Chain A
Amino acid sequence: MTSLTVFYTTLFYFATLVLIGGVAYRIYEYSRTPAPLKIPTTPAPTSNAGVVVRMAREVVLFESLFKSNKWIWIFGWLFHVGLAVVLLRHVRYFQEPAWFWVEFIQPFGKYASFIMVAGLAGLWARRFLVDRVRYISTPSDHLMLALLVAIGLSGMMMTFVSHTDIVALKAFMLGLMTFDFQPMPADGVLMVHLGLVALLMIIFPISKLLHAPGIFFSPTRNQADNPREQRHLAPWAAALERNKS
């Protein structure tokens, strides 16, 4: 094995471990922390089925954001939809043979990258142009956008300018998954792309990217509005009752 292969192999195992372990730990932490009081932002659905619908609308359509600010919504939504299509297109690197629909979206799916990067550019522009958003932006906000744009642009380089050896890359990726190690293709752009992706994976559980799992645990969105019908009691609050009353 070349040192390049060793490096990227190790990097990806490490990054995957951090990503999965880290996010799992965060989810565990969120689910373990009780929400002692009923605090849905009302009007809220009165049943759990209603809550599922509300959450789906938030996750798929960014409904609250739509109510809030049309510019952020359009840029943010385009970015995320673009990202979703790009990632679905990527599934083919991890499968042999790839699912039918993954093959199906390949030809036009590659243009989603433009949407993704355009959305990111719009969001980034706001951080400079709108005084309120400039005030709240930290260096890490800018770097996060820079990172995603860089991943996007390096990927687009490979898709539209200098093609990389997809067969070799796929062999490398499948090799990682089956512990049957294959050489990492020595292509500069690909190395940049994958290096940055690994960085993204590593910072995911310690950054604001936690908004993705976080939204599902937000009590103002995931609670049903039924406090008069059901007694809601956190374990530590119930203990209070036993001690005092």
Chain B
Amino acid sequence: MAGPQFEVPTLTEYTEVPKIREGAMSHLKSFVAAETSQSYLGYPHQLPADWKERALDRMGQVLEKFRSVRVFMDACVHCGACTDKCHYFLGTADPNNMPVARQELMRKVYRRYFTLPGKIAPWLVGAEDLTEETLGKWYNYYHQCSECRRCSVYCPYGIDTAEITMAGREILNYVGIGQKYSSEILVKVQKIGNNLGLPGPALEDTLAGLEEDIEADTGVPVKMPLNVKGAEILLVTPSADFFSEPHVESLIGYAKVFHAAGVSWTLSTHASEAGNFGLFNGNYETMRNVAMRIRDAALELGVKRIIVGECGHAWRVAYAYWNTLTGIGWGGDDPFAKQLRDQLDMRYPQPMHICEYTWDLIEKGALKFDKSLNDDRVITFHDSCNVARGSRMGDEPGGQFTIPRNIIRAVANHYQDMAAETIGEGTFCCGGGGGMLTDDLIEARVKGALPRMNAYNNVVRSDGVNFLALICAICKAQFTKVLPYYGFDRNSVGGVHQLVSTAIKLD
């Protein structure tokens, strides 16, 4: 790693709200997508001559199709309550990273072309023409938002800047300005089946290797089945679980849980990715196409249950959107939904999170642990934004906070929460979500991690915490990369099921 080209913020006890510094992050642009991936996704790859009409046309369509965007464009009163809620603002002091200002980038254009006062008196209401410069700012600041929804918790009208960011990226894509990282991933997942572009045979090899490792380690033949027709459970997990560290440790954990429960389960090559970057770009059709792979795999393999591995945005898409997009879930009476519904086991929620599954088994007493095996770890848990604010686990609101913690407490002796205002619904994003997990955005990633790092630093100092437990593939990759910038050991990051894996007793 070459030394950073920017100043890493210093850790403080509380994250202070900085004085604004205009333009502090205006230099940071993510790499722009090239022709191959853009044309696969049906977008141009450079600004067409009629870009302005296209952009406004798309904006009009978004306003027609998404109530969120329509209402949010009108409702903001500029009260300022959200201005100090975004981790990117707290870490960079760039005023355009204040949620309301980020929205305002689009709202200025909305006012100018879609509202009466903006048409007749733009200066009065802060309306502005759409220019290439505007698009530049959009590109810049809509890729300094991890769509974490923290702002939405604190806005009196629940205005969710993530929805605006998604709309902004969609409009940008429409005029040929796509982000390389997300654009290429969306091609890989649709062509190959996962975001990493790991082909079927490679996946098979990896899984066989892991089986050997586990057996060498524990003496128990824990299996990692792939494409098994008639298995009871289909596990859909982020592809990083197959070979990134520390992700793979959690995959081993899931396999051990399934082994201990004695159920038949399988992975699928076609659905070898839980992640769905369609969410990040705000294109319903793309998100649906990516999600359809799961439905297709479930139908083809004839599984009874679908379980999702540790991944934040993937769980949001699975929990909140799969039923809508693909009919995975209950309550649909149309033929499309029925086709799958009749196959799935109606005693369970569909889909289910791996933490819900494991916790269920723990509550039933079906799993045995030796908690002392985790005794070298003092653990804290980071609530991932999409799980915290965009989904749920279990039957009660807030189960997404209690269930992972319950699991940790069941498998380990030393646990300590971070400060209350930095976890739960108010959790700070890791800084790398929402399509920002790319090296060209490292400056925003490092700076955006500041509030989380401050909270983590406090428990490291006061309670000797040395393990940051996560249930998100992006969080895992982001923290592994960013912790060293703040002087922490990159190996102190891991999954909740890594802890399960350490302590579980197999026979």
Q: Which residues in A have some Cβ–Cβ distance to B below 8 Å? A: 26, 29-30, 33-39, 41-46, 58, 62, 64-65, 67-69, 72, 76, 123, 126, 130-133, 135-141, 143, 203, 206-208, 210-211, 214-215, 217-221, 225, 227-234, 236-238, 240-241, 245
Do A42 and B67 touch (CB < 8 A)?
Answer: no
Do B115 and A136 touch (CB < 8 A)?
Answer: no
- Please measure, in the bound complex, the distance between the C-alpha atom of A64 and the C-alpha atom of B81, giving whole angstroms: 9
Nearest-CB residue, chain B, relative to A141 = B78
Instruction: Give min CB distance, A236 to chain B, whole Å.
Output: 6
Do B79 and A206 touch (CB < 8 A)?
Answer: no
Residue from B98, B115, B333, B337 within 8 A of A206 (CB atoms): B115
**A residues in contact with B101, CB < 8 Å:** 135-136
Q: Which has the most chain B C-beta neighbours within 10 Å: A26, A41, A207?
A: A41
**A residues in contact with B327, CB < 8 Å:** 231
Instruction: Give min CB distance, B112 to chain A, whole Å.
Output: 13
Q: Which residues in B have some Cβ–Cβ distance to A below 8 Å? A: 17, 19-20, 63-68, 70-72, 74-85, 95, 98, 100-101, 104, 115-117, 123-126, 149, 152-160, 163, 284-285, 288, 319-321, 323-324, 327, 329-334, 336-337, 349-351, 388-392, 395, 397-398, 400-401, 425-426
Do B19 and A131 touch (CB < 8 A)?
Answer: yes
**Complex A-B: 20 CB contacts under 8 Å:** A33-B65, A33-B67, A35-B68, A36-B284, A38-B321, A42-B389, A42-B425, A43-B401, A58-B158, A67-B426, A69-B80, A72-B81, A132-B17, A136-B78, A139-B125, A220-B149, A228-B349, A230-B323, A231-B327, A231-B337
- Please measure, in the bound complex, the distance between the C-alpha atom of A24 and the C-alpha atom of B425, giving whole angstroms: 35
Residue from B68, B156, B324, B401 within 8 A of A237 (CB atoms): B324
Residue from B64, B152, B401 within 8 A of A41 (CB atoms): B152
- Please measure, in the bound complex, the distance between the C-alpha atom of A5 and the C-alpha atom of B31, giving whole angstroms: 65
Do A211 and B78 touch (CB < 8 A)?
Answer: no
Known: A30-B70, A227-B321. Is A64-B153 also a contact (CB below 8 A)? yes
- Please measure, in the bound complex, the distance between the C-alpha atom of A26 and the C-alpha atom of B389, giving whole angstroms: 29
**B residues in contact with A230, CB < 8 Å:** 323, 330-331
Do A72 and B79 touch (CB < 8 A)?
Answer: yes
Q: Which has the most chain B C-beta neighbours within 10 Å: A33, A141, A229?
A: A33
Do B76 and A220 touch (CB < 8 A)?
Answer: no
**B residues in contact with A69, CB < 8 Å:** 80-81, 84, 154
